[in-house]
Amino acid sequence: MTQENIISHSKALIIKISIITGWTIPDDLDVKRILFDQFAKKIFETYASLNVQEVEYAIRNNGTQIKDWGKSINLSLIDEALQPYLIKRSEIRKLEESSDQPKCLAAPIEPVNYPELFETVRNIFLKTGLVGLIPTPLYDFLDSTKELELTMEEKTAIRVHVEKRLVHEAEQEGLKAVKELRQLKKDDHRGYELRVRNECKKQAVANYFIKQNNIDNF
């Protein structure tokens, strides 16, 4: 999220956090104003890589596990709720990035349990609807096992959808994000294509989850 985006959503986020967790919002106007300001700064400085939906998801799934019911919202409680999610998110990203790196000799590692990963990611996606959390290696796994076979028409439709989504997401982030996306497409065609390809893989898996669970208007 950009700083402007965070500021515009900070009050609504704090209210939602209070509703989800039971943590109270201070009554004192000065304290409340400071809370909103410091919360926005905290999100920008530490959690800017998350979007609003991810913050809400993390609070719903981690905040309710913290045994501080009834306490006033503070930055320490926010950290306790968001840090575990950030760690899991980082692990998924590392797995995704490793699939794009050149293969080289390395120490043996425990193989990824893709059926288990599939169930975990599917459950997260069905709860959040966040395509970005789907690791691209999951597509490669489903493709290799013939679980996910797409026609050329389906692949084309997914690409069109993804490129529109990337533009829409950039527009929501602000003018800077729109310019960066346009610049990437213009000056780094290979980088742009890699990003689109990975997003298409994620979207294909998301579509598979939706179809598998017979979900309409997801």
pLDDT in tens, 142-196: 988 888 889 999 999 999 999 999 998 888 878 888 888 888 888 888 888 988 9
Q: Name the H helices within the chain.
A: 3-21, 29-46, 52-62, 75-98, 114-128, 136-144, 152-173, 175-187, 189-212
Answer yes or no: do 131 and 67 share one domain.
no
Instruction: Examine the pLDDT at 205 and tell me if it is beyond 90.
Output: yes
| pLDDT per residue as tens digits for the range 119-148 | 888 888 888 888 888 888 889 889 888 888
What is d(CA 41, CA 44) in angstroms, rounded to the nearest whole number? 5
Domain assignment present for 111: no
Full residue range of the structural domain in which residue 46 is found = 3-98
Q: Identify the CA nearest to 204 among candidates 145, 131, 146.
A: 131
pLDDT at 202: 92
Answer yes or no: do 46 and 80 share one domain.
yes
Instruction: Examine the pLDDT at 16 and tell me if it is beyond 60.
Output: yes
> Distances in Å between the alpha carbon of 165 and those of 106, 178, 203?
37, 12, 10
Using pLDDT thresholds of 50, 70 and 90, give the confidence band for residue 7: low
What is d(CA 1, CA 9) in angstroms, rounded to the nearest whole number? 10
Neighbours of 135 (CB within 10 A): 24
Answer yes or no: do 40 and 71 share one domain.
yes
Neighbours of 217 (CB within 10 A): 4
Answer yes or no: do 161 and 202 share one domain.
yes
What is d(CA 157, CA 99) in angstroms, rounded to the nearest whole number? 24
Domain assignment present for 108: no
pLDDT at 108: 44
Number of domains in the chain: 2
| pLDDT per residue as tens digits for the range 64-110 | 666 554 567 777 778 777 888 887 777 777 776 665 555 444 444 45
Answer yes or no: do 28 and 92 share one domain.
yes
Answer yes or no: do 82 and 7 share one domain.
yes
Answer yes or no: do 82 and 140 share one domain.
no
Domain assignment present for 218: no
Answer yes or no: do 127 and 202 share one domain.
yes
Using pLDDT thresholds of 50, 70 and 90, give the confidence band for residue 49: confident
pLDDT at 160: 95
Q: Looking at residues 40-66, what average pLDDT do you find?
A: 78
Residue type, 47: Y
What is d(CA 181, CA 172) in angstroms, rounded to the nearest whole number? 12
Answer yes or no: do 127 and 164 share one domain.
yes
What is d(CA 97, CA 198) in angstroms, rounded to the nearest whole number? 10
Answer yes or no: do 202 and 155 share one domain.
yes
